[in-house]
Amino acid sequence: MANLQRSIYILLFFILSFGGLYFAAPFLIPLSLAGVFSMVFIRFCNWLEHKRINRGLASLICVICFVLAISLVIFLLSWQLNGLVENIDAMKQRVVNLFSNFQHWIYDKVGIDLKQQQEMVEAQGQSSVGGGGILVAFVGKIMDVLLNTVLVLVYMFLFLFYRSHIKKFIIKLVPGDGKDKAEGIVHKGGDVAQQYLSGLAAMIVVLWIMYGIGFSLIGVESAIFFAVLCGILEIIPFVGNLTGTSVTLLAVLAQGGDSKMVIGVLITYATIQFIQTYLLEPVIVGEQVNINPLFTILTIVLGELIWGVAGMILAIPLLGIVKIVCDNVPDLQPYGFLIGNDKARNKKNGVIDKIKAVLKSSK
């Protein structure tokens, strides 16, 4: 009976937690993004402070560096987007031709004539929001993005400025005997998010270069735009790379690319994915977030259901922090084991170990 009651309490805890995360999303998403991003700059902020720069100015410099990095990405995308806009009319005509061919294919294979297809499309259009409603919704979304961006930057500055104060607060919550262990957990959690996101950023830059070279050799118009897009979408594991390649394929078809160009994009994608999986991720990103693929996918899906795209981005680093806590709390260690990988199996990865050994010896 006691075990059943405990299971019910655990289930109720999860239901209330997920419900609270869902309804408090407008408040928690900017706060969580700022918390995770600020962890990336903790070492840089400490280095600035060691150079006798006061904490307020060091925190501000970190936020400025973050803004400059985001601005660089936006500049690259907008610069290449201008080239796409110049050819938008030709791309529209090719899309119309593709859609017309697709309609004829449906008629030949399914038997639905063009008039019925048009009526179905018009019925779908009438059921959607009107033009004025779409414009209002779009403006509202833009304002939300701007407001949340400002909040993230402000929260980042405050997290960096008050990081010692927050750490002391967490340690004070723990009884006397566990303060040293709690401090170790805090440091490990911060290191996991920091190392994972720093490695991910380095891997994205490498992916930009490889995708840019591959798409340029194939002849994709605005190759840098799609290279940057594919790299950025790698923030979302499993889903991002496939989405970026699918968008590139659609753009190639709209640009009038032939089957050779489509096959070239697929070969580029497959080659880069092989390099990323067996070289970039183990060497650059490493195993700081030691989570098995099952819970990686489950966490991404759950993050999207609760917080949308932001939840997919935050899913892995937050779950990595949760795993650190589970591994260091005796009652939660079974859950940490369930989330993690089999360490014995990971040690068999001899090729990666040799590459890491070579890199370490060269330092």
Q: What is the pLDDT of residues 330-346, one digit of tens each?
A: 777 888 888 887 654 44
- The pLDDT score that the predictor gives to residue 10 is 74
- The pLDDT score that the predictor gives to residue 259 is 79
Q: How far apart are CA 206 and CA 214, in angstroms?
A: 12
- The pLDDT score that the predictor gives to residue 223 is 82
Q: Could you tell me which of 327, 354, 329, 351 has the C-alpha nearest to residue 338?
A: 327
Whether 31 maps to a domain, the answer reads yes
76-85: burial string, b at 16+ Cβ within 10 Å, e else? bbeebeeebe
Whether 215 maps to a domain, the answer reads no
Indicate the Cα dihedral angle 245, 248, 252, 258, nearest 10°: -10
Q: How far is CA 114 from the centre of its chain?
A: 41
Q: How far apart are CA 205 and CA 216, in angstroms?
A: 16
Measure CA of the first residue to CA of the last residue in the chain; give whole Å: 59
DSSP state of 282: I
Number of domains in the chain: 1
- The pLDDT score that the predictor gives to residue 67 is 93
Whether 248 maps to a domain, the answer reads no
Amino acid residing at 64: I
DSSP state of 151: H
Any idea which residue has 């693929």 for tokens? Answer: 293
- The pLDDT score that the predictor gives to residue 160 is 92
Whether 121 maps to a domain, the answer reads no
Structure token digits, residue 209: 């270069």
Structural domain including 69 reads: 27-87+130-167
Any idea which residue has 């170990």 for tokens? Answer: 353
Whether 71 maps to a domain, the answer reads yes
Whether 243 maps to a domain, the answer reads no
- The pLDDT score that the predictor gives to residue 353 is 52
Helical segments of the chain, H only: 2-23, 25-40, 42-50, 55-86, 88-109, 114-127, 131-161, 163-172, 179-218, 223-232, 239-254, 259-275, 293-307, 309-328, 333-339, 343-346, 350-361
Contact criterion met (CB below 8 Å) for 204 and 232: yes
Whether 99 maps to a domain, the answer reads no
- The pLDDT score that the predictor gives to residue 156 is 93
- The pLDDT score that the predictor gives to residue 48 is 93
Q: What is the full per-residue pLDDT of the chain (363 aa) written as tens digits?
A: 666 777 787 778 878 888 888 888 889 999 988 988 888 888 899 999 999 899 999 999 999 999 998 888 888 777 766 656 555 555 555 556 656 665 565 656 555 655 655 655 555 544 444 444 555 555 666 777 788 889 999 999 999 999 889 888 888 887 777 777 777 778 777 777 777 777 788 888 888 899 889 888 888 877 888 888 888 887 777 677 778 888 888 777 777 767 788 888 889 888 988 888 777 777 666 555 677 778 888 888 888 888 888 888 888 888 888 888 888 777 778 888 888 876 544 444 444 454 545 445 554
Q: How many CB atoms neighbour CB 171 within 10 A?
A: 16
DSSP state of 199: H
Q: Which residues, 6+ apart, have CB-to-CB distance to 240 below 8 Å?
A: 232, 233, 234
Structure token digits, residue 328: 């260091």
Q: What is the pLDDT of residues 22-75, one digit of tens each?
A: 888 889 999 988 988 888 888 899 999 999 899 999 999 999 999 998 888 888
Whether 83 maps to a domain, the answer reads yes
Q: How far apart are CA 73 and CA 261, in angstroms?
A: 26
